[in-house]
Amino acid sequence: MPTRLQALAAAVPSGSRVADVGTDHGQLLTLLVRGRGVTHAIGIDRSGAALRAAAGVTADARVELREGDGLDPIAPHEVDSVVLAGLGASTIVEILERARDRWPELACIVLQPRTQWSHLRRWIAAQPLTLRHESIVFEHGRAVLVCAVAPAPARPPVSWDDDDLWLGPLLRRAPTPTYARWLAQQLRACERALRHSQRGHASPPELHAQHHRIVAALAALPPMLAP
């Protein structure tokens, strides 16, 4: 089973009732019911073709497939956890904003943004949501972020600084080997961008700030995690 799907499944509370939005091939649904004891897993996708393909993978009475957009196909209180994976951060935000009235029904929202990690964190910080989990895994050499939030109606907005937004508030405070590997990967990419920009125009200040941020984060790692 792909590393990304294993990380997503691990972030879902065992025994929960889950909606997987944008389920595509449906492999996560099978992993949830067989490996996490999920009692009911609903796969949602706008593509009827994707759902027909998933039907051949998810032959389990606890799994159901529905065509639709976002959480629209889910009845009130039908699930207590939601997975939004493999989507851009802006799409994730759009889906959750449309379903804001459903948040009180949910105990856990698992997110795997394909792009714009800092954009998603900035949005989370401004919402009545608590960030419970952040992890990075690698699949085919590409870093994948998995995070989980829980609705917290009484929580005021969080003041995360730029380091938190770019590096992850939980990741940087409890670093792991995959986080260290991601930092090293980011440093190489940033240095390539700096070299490229210096051939022509002056490097943008944001690029220098990002380089400084990554170097400082690498220097702060425990010796055992230094790449």
Q: What is the mean pLDDT of residues 87-112?
A: 97
Q: Confidence band (pLDDT; 50, 70, 90) for 215?
A: very high
Distance of alpha carbon 190 from alpha carbon 148, whole angstroms: 28
Q: Confidence band (pLDDT; 50, 70, 90) for 55?
A: confident
Give the tokens for residue 177.
Answer: 């080997």
Give the tokens for residue 197.
Answer: 């920009």
Please report which residue ranges of 113-204 form alpha helices under DSSP H: 117-125, 162-167, 177-198
Task: From 1, 14, 11, select the one nearest 146 (Cα to Cα).
Answer: 11
Which tens digits make up the pLDDT trace of 135-189? 999 999 999 999 999 999 888 888 899 999 999 999 999 999 999 999 999 999 9
Q: What is the mean pLDDT of residues 41-50?
A: 89
Distance of alpha carbon 210 from alpha carbon 207, whole angstroms: 5
Distance of alpha carbon 100 from alpha carbon 111, whole angstroms: 15
- Look-up: residue for tokens 């022509």? 200
Distance of alpha carbon 89 from alpha carbon 132, whole angstroms: 18
Q: Is the pTM of this model over 0.75?
A: yes
Mean pLDDT across the chain: 92
**pLDDT above 70 (res 54):** yes
The pLDDT score that the predictor gives to residue 199 is 67
Q: Is 136 in contact with 144 (CB distance < 8 Å)?
A: yes
Q: What is the mean pLDDT of residues 192-201?
A: 76
Q: Where are the domains of the chain?
A: 3-158, 177-225
The pLDDT score that the predictor gives to residue 202 is 58
CATH class of the 3-158 domain in this structure: alpha beta
Share of the chain above pLDDT 70, in %: 97
Please report which residue ranges of 42-176 form alpha helices under DSSP H: 48-55, 89-98, 117-125, 162-167
Cross-strand bridge partners of residue 143: 138
The pLDDT score that the predictor gives to residue 83 is 98
Write phi, then psi, for 139 (nearest 5 degrees): -135, 120
Task: Reduce the DSSP state of residue 165 to 3 states and report it.
Answer: helix
